[in-house]
Amino acid sequence: MKLLRSKGPFYLQIKNVLKERIITGVYPIESLMPSEPELEREFNVSKITIRKAVEQLASDGYVEKQSGVGTTVKDNRIVSKLSNAQGFTEYLLAQGFDLKKEPIQIEKIKVEDHPIIKDYFTDECYCIQRLYLLDGHPFIHMSHYVSGAIHLPSEPEAFKASLYSMLYDEGVEFTRFKDSYGMAQPIEEIGRWLKKENTPLFRRIRYSYDQKDSLVELAIGYYNTDIHEYIVNFDV
């Protein structure tokens, strides 16, 4: 993987890549991460750089280093609270699919101008739009509406990383989530992004609440299930 000096210290870039892999389930909880020599070869950096990245993950509570054992994934605080079910994107990655996030735009919007969210937020909120590609094909369009009281980056490229991880870094602690599912026809723009114009699509709405039971995020996703059906795995 190519690292760019313009994006900051290499160890922080590597830390963010590894954290994203933990959050998305590439490195499952209680599994061993790749060894330091393996990570050195993957990122083409020194042992010291890898060690600093892993130490940062350990200080954040995501991993635990054990002498003679290796580095174990110990805490995925955000995603582990989403559900007892395996996440859909985690399932796709585990099945060997190539799933990529392409940020479309981020903007601050006036709540009163958008009927779909005016019952949930006051004044301003962020609207983050992302397109997920499954093996190169437009698969999911996500619109994330986030309270304007939270500081988020203004550059769309920043949202290739996990939004939940960003919110956690801003001090947001999630306590509960609610999902609703159904069929709905998206607006024309979303239909064009998914190449499914004038067609009802599978829709998932997620409500994410913090410790004060305040709604922090409202996420609306449209799925092109002609490419892959929506699946949730439950452990028993």
| Spatial contact of 219 and 87, defined as CB atoms under 8 Å apart | no
194 vs 211: which has the higher pLDDT: 194
64 vs 135: which has the higher pLDDT: 135
At residue 106's C-alpha, the angle toward residues 100 and 110, to 5°, is 145
What residue ranges of the chain are covered by domains with CATH 1.10.10.10? Answer: 5-76
Interatomic CA distance for residues 136 and 99, integer angstroms? 8
Interatomic CA distance for residues 222 and 200, integer angstroms? 9
Query: 94 burial class (0-12, 13-18, 19+ CB within 10 angstroms)?
Result: middle
What residue ranges of the chain are covered by domains with CATH 3.40.1410.10? Answer: 80-234
Query: 20-29, 74-83, 148-157: lowest mean pLDDT where?
Result: 74-83
The CATH class, in words, for 80-234 is: alpha beta
Closest CA to 22 of 47, 44, 54, 50: 54
Interatomic CA distance for residues 58 and 70, integer angstroms? 12
- Per CATH, the number for 5-76 is 1.10.10.10
> Over pLDDT 70: what percentage of the chain?
92
Q: How confident is the model at residue 236 (pLDDT cuts 50, 70, 90)?
A: very low
- Where residue 213 falls (left for φ over 0; alpha for ψ -120 to 50; beta otherwise) is left
Interatomic CA distance for residues 28 and 35, integer angstroms? 15
Residue 194 pLDDT > 90: yes
Beta bridge partners of 24: none
Query: 99-113, 136-150, 162-176: lowest mean pLDDT where?
Result: 162-176
N-to-C CA span, the chain? 37
167 vs 205: which has the higher pLDDT: 205
Beta bridge partners of 130: 103, 142
